[in-house]
Amino acid sequence: MRDVYVAGIGITTFTRLEYPLSEIASYASMMALKDAGVTEVDQVYVANMGAARVNHQTALASAVVDSLSLTPAGAAAIENGPASGGSAIKAGFQAVASGMDDVVLVAGAERMREVNNLEATDFVATLTHPIAEYIYGVTLPAHAAMFTRLYMDKYGVTERHLAMVGVKNQNAALNNVWAHLQQEITLEGILDSPEAMTNNPYVAEPLRFFDACPVSDGGAALVLVSEEKAKELGRPLIRITGVGQATDTHAVHERSEPTDLMAVRKAAGDAFAMAGLTPQDVDVAELHDAFTILEIAESEEVGFFPKGEGHIALEKGETALGGKIPINVGGGLKGRGHPVGATGIAQAWEIVTQLRGDGGARQVQDAKIGFTCNFGGFGNNVVCLTFERED
């Protein structure tokens, strides 16, 4: 297998965007191509979940490859729920590692604000089991809420811990100009003050408004290249050293231990094993905090902390910038936003930014090893990646 490097990165602002979906994907891609210094690619993968359903567009990759004047390169869209981005990176990795392609553009984009919030919630809920879950009105916040209830009962996680994740990540987004939420929040305002229940109502008990990521439009892109090409292009050498992907039962109730995220554990374990790393080697991590509880649970399942102790590490500040393992220093999904198909690629964008030392006010000192966890479904399809800077 050949080594695979990230030679270019690009992103759009995550917010409500008044551009067609294909232009959002193409803009991020153009930024990544310019960053890498390439005008030709062998293959394009475009990660997206809702084009057909939300934006009434199919075959998105064909639109993007043409708009970027990259024809006749191969092109394909990858729809894998919220793990579409990570899955597209994996496909691009395999294309370069196999020797089939030398330069692959991997883009992700979503335009969810084209419909109202209720329709967006329903669109994401279509990833649940159609007979055993969807018909009951289950949404992703509902799944996350039921999972949170169990976590509270079993491990002593409280609403305060959840709010601490929300405050940490939303305020981290203030250091990221591309991030959706640019409003500082405090524990006082969302939890302790008399107005907290008005500011921060329940969306699915025990989860509140500020426990969930916003609904965002946006795009992100990477250019993946072979070692020879990476050295020719002369950009900082950031190598993808570990790739892991794992699945779990479609219906959440079928899992033997409902507080376990087996696919997260397996995907992370496989990525670390491939890279020859341990979780303790990681300098900076992007976890999939679509809901605040997920950052806590994933920080345990990927191996940063023992099971049931993620919230204690959070209390000690170990997951904040300057802590032992800074998590979501660019805002995470909570602060940066969650254009579903773009998220896995935006996580990689943040890690490459960090490993290049370009993080500015949110830079993790001497970051050499990064990690991403892109969580699809309700934990039934997960992609984890490790990135290392080579000097």
Strand segments, DSSP code E, in the chain are 4-11, 43-47, 74-78, 103-111, 202-204, 207-208, 217-226, 237-247, 284-286, 369-376, 381-390
Q: Tell me how far, at minimum, the Cβ of 149 lies from other proteins, in Å.
A: 5
Binding residues vs other proteins (CB under 8 A): 116-119, 121-122, 125, 129, 131-133, 135-139, 141-142, 145-147, 149-150, 153, 201-207, 251-254, 258
Whether the Cβ atoms of residue 81 and residue 378 lie closer than 8 Å to each other: no
Decide whether 24 or 124 has the Cβ nearer to other proteins: 124
Rounded Cα distance between 362 and 236, Å, is 19
Buried b (16+ CB within 10 A) or exposed e, 51-89: beebbebeebbbbbbebbebeebbbebbbbbbbbbbbbb
Q: Tell me how far, at minimum, the Cβ of 124 lies from other proteins, in Å.
A: 9
Q: Tell me how far, at minimum, the Cβ of 273 lies from other proteins, in Å.
A: 26
Question: How far apart are the two ends of the chain, measured CA to CA in Å?
Answer: 21
Decide whether 203 or 285 has the Cβ nearer to other proteins: 203
Decide whether 192 or 254 has the Cβ nearer to other proteins: 254
Decide whether 252 or 355 has the Cβ nearer to other proteins: 252
Decide whether 52 or 251 has the Cβ nearer to other proteins: 251
Whether the Cβ atoms of residue 35 and residue 10 lie closer than 8 Å to each other: yes
**Quick check: bond before 206 cis, omega within 30?**
yes
Beta strand 103-111 with 217-226 is: antiparallel
3-state secondary structure of 72: coil
Decide whether 82 or 92 has the Cβ nearer to other proteins: 82
Q: Tell me how far, at minimum, the Cβ of 115 lies from other proteins, in Å.
A: 9
Q: Tell me how far, at minimum, the Cβ of 131 lies from other proteins, in Å.
A: 5
Buried b (16+ CB within 10 A) or exposed e, 105-127: bbbbbbbbbbbeeeebbebbbeb
Decide whether 204 or 313 has the Cβ nearer to other proteins: 204
Q: Tell me how far, at minimum, the Cβ of 378 lies from other proteins, in Å.
A: 11
Q: Tell me how far, at minimum, the Cβ of 364 lies from other proteins, in Å.
A: 35
